[in-house]
């Protein structure tokens, strides 16, 4: 690979901005993370916030690189905007995402590497990144256990009608009937996993002891061994699997094919009283269609931690729809997950500085081409 100066990125014959090898030049790396404020000092392993900056500042600066960290990412006068024109690497997260638009990419003349500290790079205009020859990488698998455990929790919260009981305690009430009239066992329910990659597979394994009827839909089947272990059955047609499910868990990436996939028509095909868990991406759902279906009771409960946009504005309708169990985007950023994606970012940057290939599964855009899951 060619060595780059700090002034500009070269473009090779494939249209890619060449990632440098063994360059002595100082690189400008910008990280955008949420501010933790008073919580920053409560746990030394809380590395995913702006204050801790993934725990890599000393390491980067010891190598002579410049590391700019901010939470200020919106508007023409934001801190991020001051550094777009000459940064080489941008690190962002799904939890406090920089929406890397084609306009931002056009300004970022030196940008070589877009690095997601976590999983899910749909906050990036991937076509614009590919056209500009920018490499897009994420830390695949870093959140899988965290999200799968969170999804299991959400299923149980919805099935057992937990939140109304919690609210009764907070409000000083005691009304068993107000909870029990719609509380069920998970055993015997049909759960449909839409997207059975890393997270979906782990969720199937965690659901097995509950004696559910497990179905899954994906572009590819899971291994015969895992099907036998979990008892999960594959359904190729999404519209065939949905009416069978008491509970639907969405784990597909957001692509142009999955954007708005659950619109009014498709939601209408779901069983009346269905429960939905979505920790994937909110834009897979039609926002108003979800509100309407929750209001009518067609969806008996909706839980997730992903919103469109993020952070969700105060007037987002999902905040106020009935029978929801929504949270901010937290499922993939447990302390354990933070440590995994912080390590992954450091490893990725080390490979970048040394001109080495990244793990194949981490590439989202490489040499102008999108990974298969985003096509």
As annotated, the binding site for substrate includes 119, 143
CB proximity list for 71: less than 8 A, separation 6 or greater? 32, 33, 34, 35, 50, 96
Q: Which candidate in 110, 161, 310, 362 is catalytic?
A: 310
Question: At 302, which helix (H) or strand (E)?
Answer: strand 299-304
- Separation between Cα atoms, residue 106 and residue 251, nearest integer Å: 32
Q: Which of 17, 65, 217, 281 is catalytic?
A: 281
Q: Are β-strands 28-32 and 135-138 bridged in parallel, bridged antiparallel, or unpaired?
A: unpaired
Q: Residue 329 catalytic?
A: yes
CB contact at 8 A, 188 and 214: no
Q: Which residues contact 222 (CB under 8 A, 6 or more apart)?
A: 196, 201, 204, 216, 232, 234
- Locate 280 and state its tokens: 């994937």
* CA 256/CA 202 separation, integer angstroms: 26
Of 110, 143, 278, 338, the active-site residue reads 143
Angle, CA 347 vertex, CA 345 and CA 351 arms, to 5°: 115
Q: How big is the CA angle at 307 (ends 45 and 93), to the nearest 5 degrees? A: 35
Q: Is position 310 annotated as part of the catalytic site?
A: yes
Question: CA-to-CA distance for 122 and 281, rounded, in angstroms?
Answer: 9
Give the annotated binding-site residues for NAD(+): 198-199, 218, 253-257, 279, 305, 329-332
The answer to whether 281 is a known catalytic residue is yes
CB 22 within 8 A of CB 60: no
CA-closest candidate to residue 246, choices 340, 182, 180, 321: 182
Angstrom distances, CA of residue 331 to CA of 17, 55, 202, 341: 34, 21, 14, 14
Where in the sequence numbering do the catalytic residues fall?
A: 143, 281, 310, 329
């Amino acid at each position: 690979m060619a060595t780059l100066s700090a002034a500009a990125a070269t473009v090779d014959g494939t249209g890619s901005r060449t990632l440098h090898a063994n360059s002595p030049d100082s690189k400008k790396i910008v990280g955008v993370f949420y501010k933790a404020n008073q919580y920053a000092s409560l746990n030394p392993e809380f590395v995913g916030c702006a204050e801790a900056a993934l725990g890599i500042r000393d390491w980067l600066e010891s190598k002579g690189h410049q590391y700019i960290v901010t939470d200020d990412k919106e508007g023409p006068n934001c801190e991020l905007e001051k550094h777009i024109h000459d940064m080489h690497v941008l690190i962002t997260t799904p939890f406090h995402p920089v929406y890397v638009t084609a306009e931002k990419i056009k300004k970022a003349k030196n940008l070589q590497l877009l690095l997601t500290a976590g999983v899910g790079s749909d906050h990036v205009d991937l076509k614009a990144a590919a056209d500009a020859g920018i490499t897009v990488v994420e830390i695949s698998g870093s959140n899988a256990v965290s999200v799968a455990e969170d999804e299991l929790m959400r299923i149980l919260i919805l099935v057992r009608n937990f939140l109304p009981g919690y609210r009764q305690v907070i409000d000083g009430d005691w009304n068993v009937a107000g909870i029990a009239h719609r509380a069920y066992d998970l055993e015997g329910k049909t759960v449909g996993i839409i997207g059975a990659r890393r997270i979906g597979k782990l969720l199937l394994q965690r659901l097995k002891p509950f004696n559910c009827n497990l179905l899954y839909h994906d572009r590819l089947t899971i291994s015969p061994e895992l099907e036998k272990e979990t008892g999960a059955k594959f359904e190729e047609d999404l519209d065939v699997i949905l009416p069978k499910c008491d509970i639907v868990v969405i784990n597909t990436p957001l692509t142009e094919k999955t954007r708005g996939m659950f619109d009014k028509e498709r939601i209408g095909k779901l069983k009346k009283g269905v429960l939905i868990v979505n920790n994937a991406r909110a834009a897979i759902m039609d926002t108003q269609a979800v509100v309407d279906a929750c209001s009518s009771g067609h969806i008996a409960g909706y839980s997730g931690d992903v919103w469109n946009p993020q952070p969700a504005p105060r007037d987002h309708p999902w905040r106020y729809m009935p029978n929801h169990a929504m949270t901010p985007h937290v499922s993939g950023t447990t302390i354990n997950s933070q440590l995994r994606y912080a390590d992954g970012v450091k490893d990725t940057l080390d490979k970048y500085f040394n001109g080495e290939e990244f793990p194949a599964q981490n590439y989202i855009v490489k040499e102008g081409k999108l990974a298969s899951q985003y096509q």
